[in-house]
Amino acid sequence: MAKTATITTSRGVIKLELFDKECPKTVANFEKLASQKFYDGQKWHRVIKDFMIQGGCPHSKTGEGRAGTGGPGYKTECEISPKLKHGKGSLSMAHAGTCRHDDAGRLIHGTCSNGSQFFITHVPTAHLDGVHTVFGKVLQGQDVVDAVKQGDDIVSIEVA
């Protein structure tokens, strides 16, 4: 059975299926950060209507830097799977966009810069396929995803 994540927000609860078979390192990193309470108390620091909500920047909680520029202090590789597409409710890793991958998901050039920031889509976003690691999807709470406003709280994230 696939792992799940429960994101409790100030607007409600989002339950996600995690693709731990297809993206084991990405899911393990997300689970590690969640278990360390890294995400607890952060804000949804980037929300674009009819596109996505983004969280995972520690600066959104500490105020010690510009929200959207922080991470866990390390970078991880992308795990691009051609069969995993950015549909409505996709959970995906955010990064600086300096890496490029071929159609099979292999790194062609650049440096992958995944860390802790992630996003959940409001609508299908095919232009992100092959660019960002899709590592889960919304099972319940897409209405919460759609209701989140910039600055709303990420109360907690739990992985089971």
d(CA 3, CA 28): 10
pLDDT score of 59: 96
What's residue 10's pLDDT? Answer: 97
The answer to whether 144 touches 12, Cβ cutoff 8 Å, is: yes
Q: What local confidence, expressed as pLDDT, does residue 30 receive? A: 98
Q: What is the pTM of this model?
A: 0.96
Q: What is the pLDDT of residue 37?
A: 98
What are the average pLDDT values for consecutive 10-residue runs of the chain, which has 160 residues?
Answer: 95 98 97 98 97 97 88 96 96 91 90 96 96 97 98 98
Token reading at 60 = 């959104």
Domains of the chain: 4-159 (2.40.100.10)
Q: Which residues pair with 90 in a beta bridge?
A: 137
Q: Are 63 and 114 in contact (CB under 8 A)?
A: no
User: Distance (Å, rounded) from C-alpha 9 to C-alpha 158?
Assistant: 12
pLDDT computed for residue 97 by the predictor: 81
